[in-house]
């Protein structure tokens, strides 16, 4: 082991279990379970129909295995598709939220109580299958912004949900999206009206607590013409020996001149050093730049999960629309990540930027897989992609699989990738200037990721840097 | 769709190929069984995402009788030769002694028919030691089909320390489909350059006539310790030709291989190149150019496998796509565990000259060692308008400026060819294609 590789392991910090009475449906998936979920949510008939349609389609689909990750078979009948903390049905105020839940989110550092106003973030907290609290709703409502749990939106804003749900990720899009469409339990819904600049960062915090459950959340964000919203999601889960499935779907819709900035800090339980346990994170995220001059920007910091399999993408339909993807993915120990983006250029003068930074340590396997597709009508489309990988240790792997498909000769597309390691000479230099080896590594890694971190909202950039330090501990030093 | 090839194989095995040694007959049997099992690839397979071989699968190709009369005139073949050195000529996969010329080859070098070499003697043993060892017919339906119909081919053996002064050329001609329908030939090449030897080998594929035909070629190149090989592969078949090829090379320590693949012809062309750097200190230049127009489709799949430490590979592929042409490039670099100090660079640039042209590019890195330097880059775009403007401001007409820049783009690849004579000839060929 070189001096860069040796350092103590720090256990996963968010691995505690909240002891709370939960309402869990027995494991298994059938039309009855879907009806039960739908009934528990008090959903209208059209929603149930849509779920069943997705389920029937899912039955005909096969689990995809083209990604560059390996895992044992998933038994979809052994998963419980609904788990909720036992509670009174309707919440009037935060005082009614179970203090244990508040405590859980306080432990995670999530400002769920409104007195943490200074944080300036509106939070929707999702615990297992249900949303437990959404803060700052009145402040947002004054501007006409709707920010609530999606199950609530289905009941209270059916016209918006019906118009947009499944319009970006159809119920039959892929195996995991179909599964999600059939059984999704909660998630966030946001609607920003015309011309409104959302005054707060919107945020959802996802927590898996119960064992043998899967989390299937669904997020839908609609930015009407000329509006702006910045949205952040964070995730964590307790330490368990089993693998838990997380199959989410996120849909973004940006109309004329609207901007959506979507940031993710994903820190699901990654499993232990032998690769036992951890979350399977199989997620479909897609944004549609429907309007002219619209913009969708994805920023993700992926440090957790045993397996990450996600490709947040942008469909650039509107002329002059912009798609961006900034990603830092860290795989340590036995983690595997196959992640990247899809940029589909349809409108004229559409532009996309991809910056992906992969860091592999331990036995981690990190794959960038991305698609840039420039269709015939996308006159003067422009893409720039940059994928850099950093390897720490000689047991890990870094892979880059970009797919580039250009069908318009006025388009310009550039892709660059590089792979490197932290050199002993770089560490030596830093140490010679008085830095410890740990500080030197952290400085080099942070410098490597800087282009992505600068895209995150400030508070989260700090959080991301800290998280990165923790994730890499044990591999560097 | 595979059944009639199996039937043709049975006829082939009982007639013309009966003279082959038992070990080869056994390999052929295995290969046809594998082909029947795999069948023609479909676009659902990751490796064939952008290329449909349906036109090949749906056409009833019959096995072209090798080297049948009337043979092409010597002048027609000479025209296809790039230099003036020794040449081996194959017509529809069969060796034609009368059209070949082997003057000027040093003693000890074997260059000639594989079928003849397999008959007996040390050459036969050597061929047996290498033939079908590199080209993985178990993984590829096309390589399996070629192997099943393996009867003749070019066999070049340069013994240890021997230096070939002149380029040795292998010319494979298809006398494309006359009145008796579409024909297929399965040309085979085996090039073994032993320790410390040096050679320049050119393989040219061309068609005489403009009928529908299919060439399904496989070439294996073995580069011994410290050997230096320049291998040129020029595909200039007719616009109604289908061309599927597999090229595999293996390099031992401290060897150098320059592999230059030029694709100009064919309506549908697919070339799989796999190179293994299997000894420390080996160096590879993989250099490719495709110039396509009309409705041509060319797909290049390259794999550079760094199996040992301290190897260097540099790959450059440029594509010029005009009219409705479609170019596909997939390049994978694999760095195996333990292949430390690998230095690998891959570039694929595509020039789109019309709005109908299309390029798909997939550079891929698969890295399992940490002390490596690996980069890849890929671009797709039109001619730079500022460069065009600059040239026009210096008095060039828009057409001249356009053709100068296009030529310059292609010439980047030609510039990496070390043999000046061949480079000049290829330069002329490419310019004719661009005009």
State pLDDT tens for residues A359-393: 888 888 888 998 999 998 899 999 999 988 888 87
C-alpha of B126 from chain center: 22
Is some CB atom of chain B closer than 8 A to the CB atom of A32?
no
In sequence order, the 6+-apart residues with CB closer than 8 A to the CB of B119 are B19
**H or E segment to which residue A138 belongs:** helix A137-142
Is B421 in a helix, a strand, or coil?
helix
- For residues A7 and A366, give the distance between their C-alpha atoms in angstroms, rounded to a whole number: 21
- For residues A316 and A223, give the distance between their C-alpha atoms in angstroms, rounded to a whole number: 15
Most confident of A77-81, A299-303, B28-32: B28-32
| Minimum CA–CA partner of A398 in chain B | B367
Which pLDDT score, from 0 to 100, does residue A241 have? 64
Residue from A67, A379, A406 to probe the interface with B (highest B Cβ count within 10 Å): A406
State pLDDT tens for residues A107-159: 655 555 544 444 455 666 666 656 656 667 777 888 888 888 888 888 888 89
CA nearest to B335, candidates A391, A336, A139: A391
Is some CB atom of chain B closer than 8 A to the CB atom of A354?
no
How many CB pairs below 8 A link A and B?
113
Per-position pLDDT tens, chain B of length 435: 788 899 989 888 887 555 788 889 899 999 999 999 999 999 988 889 899 999 999 998 988 887 677 788 888 888 899 888 899 999 988 899 999 999 889 988 999 999 888 887 788 888 889 998 888 788 899 999 999 999 889 999 999 999 998 999 999 999 866 667 888 999 999 999 999 999 999 999 999 877 899 999 999 999 999 999 999 999 999 989 999 999 999 999 999 999 999 999 999 999 999 999 999 999 999 999 999 999 999 999 999 999 999 999 999 999 999 999 999 999 999 999 889 899 999 999 999 998 889 999 988 888 888 888 888 888 898 999 999 999 999 999 999 999 999 999 999 999 999 888 899 999 999 999 888
Complex ipTM value: 0.71
Which B residues in the span 229-248 are in contact with A, Cβ-Cβ below 8 Å? Answer: none
Contact: B358, A407; criterion CB under 8 Å: yes
CA nearest to B216, candidates B299, B138, B298, B149: B149
Q: Contact, A327 vs A456, CB < 8 A?
A: no
Is A161 in a helix, a strand, or coil?
helix
- Cα R_g (chain A), whole angstroms: 22
Q: Contact, B36 vs B2, CB < 8 A?
A: yes
Q: Contact, A40 vs A100, CB < 8 A?
A: no
Name every chain B residue with its beta carbon within 8 A of the beta carbon of A374: 380
Is some CB atom of chain B closer than 8 A to the CB atom of A162?
no
From its phi and psi, is residue B181 left (phi > 0), alpha (psi between -120 and 50) or beta? left
Domain ranges of chain A: 22-472
- For residues A468 and A438, give the distance between their C-alpha atoms in angstroms, rounded to a whole number: 13
* pLDDT tier for residue A227 given thresholds of 50, 70 and 90: very high
- For residues A56 and A31, give the distance between their C-alpha atoms in angstroms, rounded to a whole number: 9
Q: Contact, B372 vs B365, CB < 8 A?
A: no
Residue A148 carries which DSSP code?
E
For B186-228, the DSSP string reads --EEEEEE-TT-EEEEEEEEEESSS--EEEEEEEEEEE-TT-E
Is some CB atom of chain B closer than 8 A to the CB atom of A400?
yes
Is some CB atom of chain A closer than 8 A to the CB atom of B46?
yes
For residue A466, give how far its alpha carbon lies from the nearest alpha carbon of chain B (Å): 24
Q: Could you list the beta-strand ranges (E) of B41-153.
A: 62-63, 87-91, 94-95, 110-113
CA nearest to B93, candidates B170, B199, B201, B178: B170
- For residues A343 and A326, give the distance between their C-alpha atoms in angstroms, rounded to a whole number: 13
Is some CB atom of chain B closer than 8 A to the CB atom of A371?
no
pTM of the model: 0.80
Which pLDDT score, from 0 to 100, does residue A118 have? 41
Contact: A404, B377; criterion CB under 8 Å: no
In sequence order, the 6+-apart residues with CB closer than 8 A to the CB of A382 are A349, A350, A351, A352, A411, A412, A413
Look at chain A and count its residues: 477
Q: Any long-range contacts for B390-396 (C-beta under 8 Å, 24+ apart)?
A: none
Phi, psi of A319 (to 5 degrees): -65, 145
Name every chain A residue with its beta carbon within 8 A of the beta carbon of B366: 397, 399
- For residues B89 and B380, give the distance between their C-alpha atoms in angstroms, rounded to a whole number: 38
Contact: A396, B340; criterion CB under 8 Å: no
């Amino acid at each position: 082991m070189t001096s860069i590789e040796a350092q103590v392991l720090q256990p996963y910090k968010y691995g505690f279990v909240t002891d709370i009475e939960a309402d869990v449906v027995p494991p298994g998936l059938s039309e009855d379970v879907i009806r039960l979920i739908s009934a528990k949510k008090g959903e209208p008939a059209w929603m149930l129909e849509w779920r069943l349609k997705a389920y029937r389609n899912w039955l005909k689909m096969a689990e995809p295995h083209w990604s560059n990750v390996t895992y044992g078979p998933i038994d979809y009948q052994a998963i419980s598709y609904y788990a909720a903390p036992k509670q009174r049905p309707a919440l009037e105020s935060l005082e009614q939220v179970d203090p244990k839940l508040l405590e859980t989110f306080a432990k995670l550092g999530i400002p769920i109580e409104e007195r943490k106003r200074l944080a300036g973030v509106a939070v929707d907290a999702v615990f297992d299958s249900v949303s437990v609290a959404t803060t700052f709703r009145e402040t947002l409502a004054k501007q006409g912004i709707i920010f609530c749990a999606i199950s609530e939106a289905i009941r209270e804003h059916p016209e918006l949900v019906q118009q947009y749900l499944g319009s970006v990720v159809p119920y039959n899009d892929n195996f995991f999206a179909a599964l999600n469409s059939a059984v999704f339990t909660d998630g966030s819904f946001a609607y920003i009206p015309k011309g409104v600049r959302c005054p707060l960062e919107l945020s959802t915090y996802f927590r898996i607590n119960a064992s043998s459950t899967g989390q299937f959340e669904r997020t839908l964000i609609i930015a009407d013409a000329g509006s702006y919203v910045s949205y952040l999601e964070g995730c964590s889960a307790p330490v368990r020996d089993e693998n838990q499935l997380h199959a989410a779907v996120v849909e973004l819709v940006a109309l004329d001149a609207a901007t959506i900035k979507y940031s993710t800090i994903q820190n699901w339980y990654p499993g232990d050093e032998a690769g036992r346990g951890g979350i399977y994170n199989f997620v479909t995220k897609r944004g549609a730049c429907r309007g002219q001059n619209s913009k969708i920007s994805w920023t993700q910091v992926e440090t957790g999960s045993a397996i990450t399999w996600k490709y947040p993408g942008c469909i650039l339909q509107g002329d002059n629309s912009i798609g961006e993807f900034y990603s830092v993915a860290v795989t340590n120990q036995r983690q595997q990540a196959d992640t990247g983006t899809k940029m589909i250029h349809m409108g004229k003068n559409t532009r996309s930027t991809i910056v992906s930074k992969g860091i592999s340590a331990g036995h981690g396997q990190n794959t960038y897989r991305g698609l840039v597709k420039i269709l015939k009508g996308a006159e003067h489309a422009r893409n720039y992609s940059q994928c850099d990988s950093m390897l720490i240790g000689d047991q890990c792997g870094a892979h880059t699989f970009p797919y580039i498909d250009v069908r318009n000769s006025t388009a310009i597309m550039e892709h660059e990738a590089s792979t490197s390691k932290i050199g002993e000479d770089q560490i030596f230099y830093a140490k010679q200037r008085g830095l410890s080896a740990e500080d030197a590594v952290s400085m080099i890694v942070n410098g490597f990721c800087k282009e992505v971190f600068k895209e995150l909202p400030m508070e989260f950039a700090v959080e991301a840097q800290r998280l990165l330090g923790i994730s890499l501990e044990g591999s560097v030093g | 769709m595979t059944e009639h090839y199996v039937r043709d194989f049975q006829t082939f095995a009982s007639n013309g190929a009966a003279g082959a040694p038992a070990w080869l007959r056994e390999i052929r049997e295995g290969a046809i069984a594998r082909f029947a099992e795999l069948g023609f690839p479909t676009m659902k397979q990751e490796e064939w995402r952008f290329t449909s071989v349906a036109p090949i699968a749906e056409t009833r190709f019959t096995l072209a009788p090798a080297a049948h009369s009337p043979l092409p005139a010597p002048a027609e073949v000479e025209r296809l030769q790039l230099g003036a050195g020794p040449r081996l000529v194959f017509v529809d996969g069969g060796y034609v002694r009368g059209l070949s010329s082997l003057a000027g080859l040093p003693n000890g070098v074997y260059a000639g028919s594989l079928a003849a070499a397999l008959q007996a003697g040390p050459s036969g043993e050597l061929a047996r030691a290498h033939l079908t060892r590199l080209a993985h017919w178990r993984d590829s339906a096309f390589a399996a089909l070629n192997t099943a119909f393996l009867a003749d081919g070019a066999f070049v053996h340069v013994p240890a320390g021997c230096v070939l002064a002149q380029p040795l050329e292998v010319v494979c001609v298809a006398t494309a489909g006359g009145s008796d329908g579409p024909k297929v030939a399965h040309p085979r090449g085996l090039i073994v350059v032993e320790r410390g030897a040096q050679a320049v080998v050119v393989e040219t594929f061309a068609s005489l006539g403009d009928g529908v035909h299919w060439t399904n070629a496989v070439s294996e190149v073995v580069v011994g310790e410290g050997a230096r090989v320049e291998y040129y592969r020029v595909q200039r078949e007719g616009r109604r030709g289908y061309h599927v090829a597999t090229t595999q090379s293996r390099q031992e320590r401290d060897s150098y291989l320059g592999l230059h693949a030029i694709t100009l012809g064919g309506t549908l062309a697919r070339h799989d190149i796999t190179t293994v750097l299997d000894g420390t200190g080996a160096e590879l230049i993989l250099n490719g150019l495709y110039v396509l127009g009309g409705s041509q489709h060319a797909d290049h799949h390259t794999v550079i496998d760094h199996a040992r430490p301290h190897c260097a590979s540099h790959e450059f592929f440029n594509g010029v796509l005009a009219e409705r042409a479609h170019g596909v490039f997939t390049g994978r670099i694999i760095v195996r565990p333990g292949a430390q100090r690998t230095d690998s660079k891959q570039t694929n640039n595509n020039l789109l000259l019309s709005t109908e042209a299309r390029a798909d590019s997939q550079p891929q890195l698969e890295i399992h060692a940490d002390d490596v330097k690996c980069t890849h880059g890929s671009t797709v775009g039109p001619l730079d308008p500022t460069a065009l403007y600059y040239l026009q401001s210096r008095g060039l007409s828009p057409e001249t400026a356009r053709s100068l820049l296009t030529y310059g783009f292609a010439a980047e690849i030609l510039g990496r060819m070390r043999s000046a004579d061949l480079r000049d000839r290829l330069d002329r060929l490419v310019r004719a294609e661009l005009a």
